[in-house]
Chain A
Amino acid sequence: MNLIQKALAQGHHTLNEFASKQFLAAYGIPVSREALVRTEAEAVAAAERIGYPVALKACSARLPHKSEAGAVALHLEGPEAVRREMGRVARAVHVPLDGFLIQEMVAGQRELVAGLSRDPQFGPCVMLGLGGVMAEVFRDTAFRVAPFDRAEALDMIGELRSRALLGAFRGQAPADPQVLVRILLALGRIGLENDRIAEIDINPIIVTPSGAATAVDALIVLQEK
């Protein structure tokens, strides 16, 4: 049974972050290294494996807005911090959890958002936009209707007003356009192949100083037929 059918069978309307990213990764979208854990021992072991600093997040299909719920702890530098924050998050969150995510901290100041939505006239539409705290101020987004080709995906990146951010920027390497293109094409394919997916929100995609791009948080929203 695949991730979508499993979530629907359990009466969920979203995939949790871990499942969302597993799904996206299967389509070739680069996602942060992470592990789903249940106990403190598992958490510390995962953090050692991934390497400090790590992020810790409550993981639940019923928790689409994690930060607001106090369910996120960032930049944890060692096992004590992991244990402490795991306890704090467990007390702060009041929905049933699928576990905790231990996640690499992806370094980078350049943030993008990408997503999928469905338009009644056009069907699956892929969005790319400027991310980060200023995203809602600048509202810099570009859309394409799936399916579209590599040239359209590149044109979409060029359509962003803040595209200069993706060039060589303040000593950081240009964002690898091929990775961004791969993400955009994959989102289009997901939209065409999975009619149970209503919406995808990848926020943020972090562009690292070396120009790589990684999906650090993601949410897949499902729909009944």
Chain B
Amino acid sequence: MAPRDNPLEIIANPRHIAIFGASNSESAMGTGILRAILDFGFPGPVYPVHPREETVLELKAYPEVATIPEAADLAFIVLPTRIVAETLDACGRRGIRRAVIVSAGFNEVGGDGGTRQSELIEVAGRHGIRFIGPNCIGVFNARARLNATYMPFEGRPGYIGIASQSGSFLTQMFGYLEKRFGQSFSTGFSLGNEADIDLVDCLAYLGEDPQTRVIGLYIESIRRGRLFIETARAVARRKPIVAYYAGGSETGRRACLSHTGALAGPDRLYDGVLRQSGILRARSIPELFDFCQVLGGVPPANGSRAIIQTHSGGPGAAAADACGRGGIELPRLCPETLAKLAPFVAHTASCNNPIDLTFSKNPLDYFHAIPKILLEDPAADGLIVYVLAYARMVERGLAGLGVPPDQIPEQTRQVIADQCRALASLGPAFQKPVIGFSFLTRENPFVAGLQDLGMPVLAGPERAAAAFGALAQYRRLREKLLGAADADARPQEN
């Protein structure tokens, strides 16, 4: 589907917005969404519609949608359930053709909820309105400065596009990605009950979105099955897709039914569907975002052979164990590599893979000279690096070199920045994946420095190994899809 024809094109890039349900009461959900829209600096006009207020959050308010100055590109409806359909109808009469319906109380509650949802579909159909929801939490587009999601967004624009059947895995991940990984979303959609726009539309849109380098999906149920598979297969040839599926167990299935009214399918069927779709399946929510940041952030792996670099035995062995379980080979270094390494390593070091340096003759070699030699080895499809270094070590080193105390803080910052730049530049230079792992957080300047330069530093050895495995698996999935595309292009057999 061409992006222009996708209903999400306007929803993600509206020129102007009408919002229903925002007031001057800060506790109202609608107010929270309006606040988020304003705080993130949406550049276009926003028209609050409110029956009594003259102004809402210092914006001029309009008593009804008929009186707003122009047919807004997008309406946000955050109203009590019983007046949602009539509001949508009024929007249609005003010429509005896109909506996000945040209000709940439809299919997901059972009983009359289904009838109310059918009514929304009927009203929308009559006016040619395409909408997200109901029972969703909104839309995010970093480049368009659109954060219509209730939660504040304080990060930089990212490259992960997400479509989620739970609003939480959009909004509540803002802080998770930012605070732990210095990551964020390019674009995100919370889909709710999918009465109209669904995962398939999102896949098609995010597949074409130039800001999105990898697509994450949180799935409780896939509704248009065949089209989902076809769309994903087309997208996954050029952009990785990672999914977490919550409906596979009996307990998960029941939770999904009451959450979004979704009818989930058996786990093994979804295993097959995702694999057939060229989608990687993540087994946990942290894994979903680990895989997304790595697949979108590093060059593709040409195979499944990794070198592990560490200066601590335990973390290296744990990474090696996780690699072995995940089908990642740890090749021996070739003789040329060993010869090149010799001047840099202590006699206590082990140059089997993992490369355990124990301690470094010059600690700075750990960030450039050594990983560069390892990446030059033709047996390495990529590198997994343990990250453990402190500003304090650099300060002590500088003091030992006789640097005057008043210059140490500035020089420490400089050294750390240089080291991070040296290591983070290697992956792109060699076009091989380099994945860091650490037990430290972004409070550590090396972890934050590497992450801010685009090198993923994950929270533990097994997570780095799993992400490396995801790179190898994406390569296999993509080759399968491209092989099928070649076969499609050839005349049919038999």
Asked if residues A121 and B225 are in contact (CB atoms below 8 Å), the reply is: yes
Bitwise, A4-29 to B at CB < 8 A (1) or not (0) is: 00000000000000000000000000
Asked if residues B276 and A144 are in contact (CB atoms below 8 Å), the reply is: yes
* Pick from A121, A123, A143, A152: contact of B271, CB under 8 Å: A143
Asked if residues A125 and B226 are in contact (CB atoms below 8 Å), the reply is: no
Interface residues in A14-46 (C-beta closer than 8 Å to B): none
B82 close to chain A: CB less than 8 A: no
What residues on A are CB-neighbors of B275 within 8 Å? 155, 159
- Least CB distance from A210 to B in Å reads 25
Asked if residues A149 and B484 are in contact (CB atoms below 8 Å), the reply is: yes
Distance of A150 Cα from B484 Cα, bound (Å): 8
- Least CB distance from B131 to A in Å reads 21
Asked if residues B268 and A121 are in contact (CB atoms below 8 Å), the reply is: no
Asked if residues B268 and A119 are in contact (CB atoms below 8 Å), the reply is: no
Q: Is the interface of B mostly helix, strand, loop or mixed?
A: helix
Asked if residues B276 and A121 are in contact (CB atoms below 8 Å), the reply is: no
| Given A119-B225, A121-B263, A155 contacting B271 (CB threshold 8 A) | no
Bitwise, A141-181 to B at CB < 8 A (1) or not (0) is: 11111001111100110010000000000000000000000
Which chain B residue has the least Cβ–Cβ distance from A142? B272
- Least CB distance from B355 to A in Å reads 32
Interface residues on A, range: 20 to 34
Bitwise, B463-485 to A at CB < 8 A (1) or not (0) is: 00000000000000000100110
What residues on A are CB-neighbors of B483 within 8 Å? 151
Asked if residues A143 and B269 are in contact (CB atoms below 8 Å), the reply is: yes
Distance of A152 Cα from B271 Cα, bound (Å): 13
Asked if residues A121 and B272 are in contact (CB atoms below 8 Å), the reply is: no
B222 close to chain A: CB less than 8 A: yes
B273 close to chain A: CB less than 8 A: yes
Interface residues on B, range: 20 to 34
B156 close to chain A: CB less than 8 A: no
What residues on A are CB-neighbors of B157 within 8 Å? none
What residues on A are CB-neighbors of B226 within 8 Å? 122-123, 145
- Least CB distance from A36 to B in Å reads 30
B229 close to chain A: CB less than 8 A: yes
Asked if residues B265 and A144 are in contact (CB atoms below 8 Å), the reply is: no
B487 close to chain A: CB less than 8 A: yes
- Least CB distance from A153 to B in Å reads 10
* Pick from A120, A141, A155: contact of B263, CB under 8 Å: A120
- Least CB distance from A180 to B in Å reads 15
Asked if residues A141 and B268 are in contact (CB atoms below 8 Å), the reply is: yes
Bitwise, A96-137 to B at CB < 8 A (1) or not (0) is: 000000000000000000000001111101000000000000
B23 close to chain A: CB less than 8 A: no
Bitwise, B247-278 to A at CB < 8 A (1) or not (0) is: 00000000000000001010011011101100
What residues on B are CB-neighbors of A123 within 8 Å? 225-226
Asked if residues A145 and B276 are in contact (CB atoms below 8 Å), the reply is: yes
Which chain B residue has the least Cβ–Cβ distance from A125? B269
Asked if residues B265 and A122 are in contact (CB atoms below 8 Å), the reply is: yes
What residues on B are CB-neighbors of A149 within 8 Å? 484, 487
* Pick from B221, B484, B487: contact of A121, CB under 8 Å: B221
B60 close to chain A: CB less than 8 A: no
Distance of A143 Cα from B248 Cα, bound (Å): 14
Asked if residues B273 and A145 are in contact (CB atoms below 8 Å), the reply is: yes
B223 close to chain A: CB less than 8 A: yes
Asked if residues A148 and B276 are in contact (CB atoms below 8 Å), the reply is: yes
| Given A145-B229, A155-B480, A122 contacting B273 (CB threshold 8 A) | yes
Asked if residues A144 and B484 are in contact (CB atoms below 8 Å), the reply is: no
Asked if residues B480 and A121 are in contact (CB atoms below 8 Å), the reply is: no
What residues on B are CB-neighbors of A119 within 8 Å? 225, 265, 269
Distance of A149 Cα from B484 Cα, bound (Å): 7
Distance of A143 Cα from B271 Cα, bound (Å): 8
What residues on A are CB-neighbors of B269 within 8 Å? 119, 122, 125, 143
- Least CB distance from B402 to A in Å reads 62
Which chain B residue has the least Cβ–Cβ distance from A120? B263
- Least CB distance from A29 to B in Å reads 16
Which chain B residue has the least Cβ–Cβ distance from A141? B268
Distance of A125 Cα from B275 Cα, bound (Å): 14
Distance of A119 Cα from B148 Cα, bound (Å): 36
What residues on A are CB-neighbors of B268 within 8 Å? 139, 141-143
Distance of A1 Cα from B484 Cα, bound (Å): 37
Distance of A148 Cα from B226 Cα, bound (Å): 11
Interface residues in B209-268 (C-beta closer than 8 Å to A): 221-226, 229, 263, 265, 268
Distance of A149 Cα from B488 Cα, bound (Å): 10
What residues on A are CB-neighbors of B484 within 8 Å? 149, 151-152
What residues on B are CB-neighbors of A150 within 8 Å? 487
What residues on B are CB-neighbors of A152 within 8 Å? 276, 480, 484
* Pick from B223, B225, B263, B487: contact of A145, CB under 8 Å: B225
Which chain A residue has the least Cβ–Cβ distance from B223? A121
- Least CB distance from B490 to A in Å reads 12
Interface residues in B272-321 (C-beta closer than 8 Å to A): 272-273, 275-276
Distance of A139 Cα from B272 Cα, bound (Å): 14
* Pick from A122, A139, A148: contact of B225, CB under 8 Å: A122
Asked if residues A151 and B487 are in contact (CB atoms below 8 Å), the reply is: yes
Distance of A139 Cα from B172 Cα, bound (Å): 36
- Least CB distance from B381 to A in Å reads 20
What residues on B are CB-neighbors of A155 within 8 Å? 275-276, 480
* Pick from A120, A145, A151: contact of B272, CB under 8 Å: A145
Distance of A8 Cα from B492 Cα, bound (Å): 35
Which chain B residue has the least Cβ–Cβ distance from A150? B487
Closest 5 CB pairs of A and B: A143-B272, A122-B225, A121-B225, A143-B269, A151-B480
With A143-B268, A145-B272 already in contact, 6 other A-B pairs whose C-beta atoms are closer than 8 Å: A119-B265, A122-B273, A123-B225, A141-B268, A143-B272, A152-B484
Would you give 9 A-B contacts (Cβ < 8 Å), ordered by A? A119-B225, A125-B272, A139-B268, A144-B272, A144-B276, A145-B276, A149-B487, A159-B271, A159-B272
